[in-house]
């Protein structure tokens, strides 16, 4: 029974479906988590500013940090199992190769110099992203991020205007994955590069015994092209701990986890428990939403020292008591109760305002002056007219519907 529940393909499908549901809900109402709130890489990007300034990088959240920590905890125990069992982008790449097989597309094995030159690329990307993100204090790469494109699939205006290059990169990666299995994981994923060290340090890892007959069936199913038959411990930095090699091995005990009493589905269960407990702890303790306030202090177009009214109150109550969890939801509920209007009730000009519209563009569209817009949304004068509605949503914590309802009162 446990083996059926802890089926890797099942969990891959659950995670992809779950993130698509979150993407749809966020498109419907911004009270639901954004792509950046559900991106564990954002937690890594924010580490420097958290330690040095006590703030999250703008657009990242407490949820980003705890998702990253969950991945690290699972990696300490099991290595890069997140990559092989749960990562939606990795799953999409794997499904793309399965589609390629059905379409009769021949598998390409990248070998020799092309492979040698491409392998370090993800480490270069990791270094460049961290350097500029830590220096600038913002997600400068968001327009090129395939994850952001995936999570804005239900928001075509933002997909086209904000993350178009990310969408193109995602399509290119999936196209290459039709013939090159796990192309993104092998050569481009900065998160995989960041946790690769844990493959050597992890408590549990696949090992090859002396009874191995070197049939190389394990290598035929390895999605990242590791030469398993040449290793005693399978601790290659590219291993994604999918355990397909163990499941495929025709000789009992020749390839197994180093604790031979444990099977691959036991490892999957451990990962689910570690990640699940970390996330539930963050939610229960109220840290999950913490970054929505602290990220507003990040750099970018918004003034680092400017806060919305509810953020100012949180600052007065000390940073350790920042609005989180149930308080955050209560704030949204009170706002919803006070504002009776919906997008459908607003006039045509407001209905057509997208999340990527700037304050200046909104002023032209509605006929309201920029001063009136600033007053309606309680924005400081330091805000640039080039700030987008999306950034104001993240800054204030209000949804698009709530912000537009405030504008309707000025018309």
How many CB atoms are closer than 10 A to CB 361?
16
What is the Cα–Cα distance from 255 to 229, expressed in whole angstroms?
10
Instruction: Give mean pLDDT, residues 200-204.
Output: 93
Residue 207: which H helix or E strand, with range?
Answer: strand 206-208
Same domain, 79 and 118: yes
More confident residue, 41 or 155: 41
Same domain, 247 and 273: no
Same domain, 253 and 275: no
pLDDT-based confidence at residue 285 (cuts at 50, 70, 90) = confident
pLDDT confidence of residue 368:
85
**Residue in the block written with tokens 């220096």:** 135
Alpha-helical regions (H) of 79-111: 81-85, 88-102
Residue 240 maps to which CATH number? 3.30.70.20
**pLDDT digit string, tens, across residues 176-201:** 999 999 999 999 999 999 999 999 99
Same domain, 194 and 209: no
pLDDT confidence of residue 211:
86
Same domain, 179 and 229: no
**Which tokens hold the place of 108?**
């390409």
Residue 59: inside a domain, yes or no? Answer: yes
Residue 293: inside a domain, yes or no? Answer: no
Same domain, 22 and 90: yes
What is the Cα–Cα distance from 167 to 159, expressed in whole angstroms?
7
pLDDT-based confidence at residue 328 (cuts at 50, 70, 90) = very low
How many CB atoms are closer than 10 A to CB 349?
16
84 near 6, Cβ under 8 Å? no
Same domain, 10 and 48: yes
Same domain, 113 and 191: yes
Among 25-39, 64-78, 123-137, 211-225, the least confident range = 25-39
pLDDT confidence of residue 142:
85
- Residue 324 pLDDT exceeds 70: no
Same domain, 251 and 276: no
| pTM: predicted TM-score of the whole model, two decimal places | 0.76
What is the Cα–Cα distance from 17 to 22, expressed in whole angstroms?
9
- Residue 48 pLDDT exceeds 80: yes
- Residue 7 pLDDT exceeds 50: yes
Question: Which residue range is the domain that position 237 belongs to?
Answer: 205-261
Helices 8-28 + 264-284 axis angle, to 10: 30
Instruction: Give mean pLDDT, residues 27-44.
Output: 85
pLDDT confidence of residue 290:
60
CA 188 to chain centre: 15
CA atoms within 13 A on the CB side of 303: 11
Residue 171: inside a domain, yes or no? Answer: yes
% of residues, the chain, pLDDT over 90: 45
Query: Running DSSP on this structure, what letter comes out for residue 208?
Result: E
Residue 300: inside a domain, yes or no? Answer: no
Instruction: Give mean pLDDT, residues 144-162.
Output: 88
What is the Cα–Cα distance from 392 to 384, expressed in whole angstroms?
11
- Residue 230 pLDDT exceeds 60: yes
CA 232 to chain centre: 34
Same domain, 53 and 141: yes
Highest mean pLDDT among 51-65, 150-164, 174-188: 174-188
pLDDT confidence of residue 367:
84
Residue 10: which H helix or E strand, with range?
Answer: helix 8-28
Same domain, 181 and 222: no
What is the Cα–Cα distance from 167 to 221, expressed in whole angstroms?
29
207 near 257, Cβ under 8 Å? yes
- Residue 92 pLDDT exceeds 70: yes
Helices (H) and strands (E) in the chain, counts: 25, 2
User: Mean pLDDT, the chain, as a whole number?
Assistant: 82
- Asked whether the CA dihedral 291, 76, 205, 232 is positive or negative, the reply is positive
Same domain, 126 and 183: yes
**pLDDT digit string, tens, across residues 365-389:** 888 888 888 888 888 877 788 888 8
pLDDT confidence of residue 333:
47
Residue 297: inside a domain, yes or no? Answer: no
User: CA-based Rg of the chain, rounded to a whole angstrom?
Assistant: 23
pLDDT-based confidence at residue 347 (cuts at 50, 70, 90) = low
pLDDT-based confidence at residue 278 (cuts at 50, 70, 90) = very high
- Residue 73 pLDDT exceeds 80: yes
What is the Cα–Cα distance from 45 to 277, expressed in whole angstroms?
23
- Output the DSSP codes for 217-237: HHHHH-TT---GGG-SB---T
CA atoms within 13 A on the CB side of 341: 17
Residue 371: inside a domain, yes or no? Answer: yes
% of residues, the chain, pLDDT over 70: 84
| Count of structural domains within the chain | 3
pLDDT-based confidence at residue 340 (cuts at 50, 70, 90) = very low
Instruction: Give mean pLDDT, residues 306-326.
Output: 36
146 near 169, Cβ under 8 Å? yes
- Residue 330 pLDDT exceeds 50: no
pLDDT confidence of residue 108:
92
Distances (CA, A) of 337 to 83, 313, 330, 332: 42, 21, 10, 9
């Amino acid at each position: 029974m446990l083996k059926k529940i802890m089926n890797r393909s099942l969990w891959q499908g659950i995670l992809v479906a779950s993130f698509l549901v979150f993407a749809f809900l966020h498109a419907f109402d911004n009270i639901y988590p954004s792509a950046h709130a559900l991106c564990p890489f954002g937690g890594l990007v924010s580490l420097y500013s958290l330690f040095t300034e006590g703030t999250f990088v703008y657009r990242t959240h407490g949820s980003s940090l705890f998702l990253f920590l969950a991945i690290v905890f699972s990696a300490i125990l099991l290595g890069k199992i997140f990559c092989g069992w749960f990562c939606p982008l990795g799953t999409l790449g794997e499904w793309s190769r399965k589609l390629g097989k059905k379409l009769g597309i021949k598998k390409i094995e990248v070998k020799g110099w092309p492979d040698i030159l491409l392998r370090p690329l993800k480490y270069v990307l990791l270094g460049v992203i961290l350097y500029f993100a830590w220096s600038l204090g913002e997600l400068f790469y968001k327009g090129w991020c395939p994850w952001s494109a995936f999570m804005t699939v239900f928001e075509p205006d933002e997909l086209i205007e904000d993350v178009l290059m990310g969408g193109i990169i995602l399509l290119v990666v999936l196209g290459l994955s039709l013939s090159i299995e796990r192309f993104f994981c092998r050569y481009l994923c900065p998160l995989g590069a960041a946790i690769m060290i844990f493959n050597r340090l992890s408590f549990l890892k696949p090992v090859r015994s002396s009874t191995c007959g070197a049939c190389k069936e394990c290598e035929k199913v390895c999605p990242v092209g590791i030469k398993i038959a040449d290793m005693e411990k399978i601790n290659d930095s590219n291993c994604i701990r999918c355990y397909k090699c163990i499941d495929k091995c025709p000789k009992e005990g020749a390839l197994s986890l180093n604790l031979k009493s444990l099977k691959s589905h036991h490892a999957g269960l451990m990962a689910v428990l570690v990640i699940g407990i970390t996330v539930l702890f963050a939610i229960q303790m109220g840290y999950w939403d913490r970054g929505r306030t602290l990220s507003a202090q990040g750099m970018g177009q918004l003034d680092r020292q400017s806060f919305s009214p509810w953020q100012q109150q949180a600052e007065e109550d000390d940073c350790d008591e920042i609005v989180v969890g149930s308080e955050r939801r209560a704030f949204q509920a009170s706002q919803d109760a006070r504002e009776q209007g919906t997008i459908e009730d607003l006039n045509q000009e407001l209905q057509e305002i997208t999340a990527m519209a700037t304050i200046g563009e909104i002023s032209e569209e509605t006929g309201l002056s920029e001063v009136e817009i600033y007053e309606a949304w309680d924005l400081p004068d330091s805000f640039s007219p080039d700030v987008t509605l999306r950034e104001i949503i993240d800054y204030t914590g209000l949804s698009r519907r709530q912000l537009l309802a405030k504008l309707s009162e000025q018309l």
